[in-house]
Structure 1
Amino acid sequence: MAIIILDRDGVINQHSDTHVRSADEWLPIPGSIEAMAQLSQAGHQLVIATNQSGLALGCFDLDDLEDMHAKMRALVEDAGGEIAAIFYCPHSDHDHCRCRKPKPGLLDAIEAEFDISLHDCYFVGDQRKDLQCAVAKGCKPVLVRTGRGEQTLAALLQNPDASLVETRVMENLAQFADFLLQ
């Protein structure tokens, strides 16, 4: 079974500059839940890798985060799919941890948990740090235009990054699922 790594905010659910703070504020991007269900039904293991600095900053607590993830899991399950695992970094940029993207600590943890190499797995994100994390582990980076994706794409066009030249650009997670399942 192929693993697909998905960032959360801006890829699966609506992005918020002030952090998504509760399950009520956690709103899926249209088509994302159905796309995840289709990918899961096709035999892909969906693994979420998300920075959640709102924990370190006190914007929400662990119970709030678990409620958001329970909502996400339930919506995907109701659509006929499954999320294999959710990995998150609870630190802020100031903590200089190894698990905060663009560092590859979350992906290292996924590899250890699943006893698999993520080399050549797809990694779907909406920010440069997602793409950099993907490339650092030999994943295939995919940029979606949702969330911060348009800003990221504009920045990459202004300041090209040779390491990200192989990045595939998709409108959203639904278009990525269509591409992968064709």
Structure 2
Amino acid sequence: MKLVILERDGTINHDGDPFITSPEDWTPLPGALDAIARLNHAGFHVAVASNQPGLGRGLIDVATLNAIHSRMHKMLAAVGAKVDAVFFCPHTADDSCTCRKPLAGLFEQIGERYGLDLHGVAACGDNLEHLLAAQAAGCEPHLVLTGKAAVLAGHPLPDGFPRGTQVHADLGAFASHLIARQGR
């Protein structure tokens, strides 16, 4: 099985200020939905791993989060794409959980769901926490220069990023890279 693990906010959609708190706030980044469609058509399953501390802070509830994801799924379906599963951590940074990135808990849950060893699975996001969690789970780290990472465009990666992190302009460039690589 070919699997890709994506961060949601800043990778697939615009970041909220500070959180996406309603379905109307969820707006895809240019080309992101088409990128997921291209990954799907190339045989990749797509899972999302996302910290959602707005739940722990009481800024949104699970019904609202489900409505946000419903909007995402409908917009993906409209372009012939799908995300197979969304895994999220509802905790705040002050909670002692193992699922909040940069810990690997969400990634481990994805591996368990699919019955896969995640070694070498491409994981793509716009922030250090996502890449550290990916690395801890054995995934191959990919950074997109959208969302939080937009400020890094044109600069070397700061210290602390996983060794071997591959950098892409956006999710479309990441998808093109993976699809071209599998064709070799």
Whether these two folds match at TM > 0.5 is: yes
Are the counterparts in 2 of residues 128 and 152 from structure 1 also a CA contact under 8 Å? no
Task: Give me the whole-angstrom Cα distance separating, in 2, the residues matched to 1:149 and 1:174.
Answer: 15
> Residues of 2 paired with 1:152 and 1:175: CA distance?
16
Query: Match for residue 164 of structure 1?
Result: 162
Runs of 4+ off more than 4 Å: 152-156
Distance (whole Å) between structure 2 residues aligned to residue 42 and residue 16 of structure 1: 30
Question: 1:152: Cα distance to partner?
Answer: 5.8
Q: How does 1:138-177 map to 2 (within 5 A)?
A: 138-151=138-151, 157=157, 159-161=158-160, 164-177=162-175
Output the amino acid matched with 2:108.
D
Counting aligned pairs with the same residue, the percent is 36
Match of 2:110, SS state, is helix
Q: Is the 8 A contact 1:127 1:152 kept in 2?
A: no
Unpaired runs of 5+ residues, structure 2, are none
**In the TM superposition, what whole-angstrom CA distance separates every residue of 1:54-79 from its partner, at most 9, and x where no partner exists?**
01111111111001111111111111
Match of 2:34 in 1: 34
TM-score normalized by the length of structure 2: 0.92
Deviation readout 1:6-56 (Å, 9 max, x if unpaired): 000000000123201011000000100010011011110000000000011
Residue-pair matches, total: 180
Query: For the residues of structure 1 that align with 2:135 and 2:113, how far apart are their CA atoms?
Result: 20
Q: Which amino acid is 1:113 matched to?
A: R
1-side partners of 2:152 and 2:105: how far apart?
22
Secondary structure of 1:83 counterpart = coil
User: Could you tell me the TM-score, scaled by structure 1's length?
Assistant: 0.93
Point out where structure 1 has 5 or more consecutive residues left out of the alignment: none
Q: CA RMSD in A?
A: 1.6
- SS at 2:24 equivalent: coil
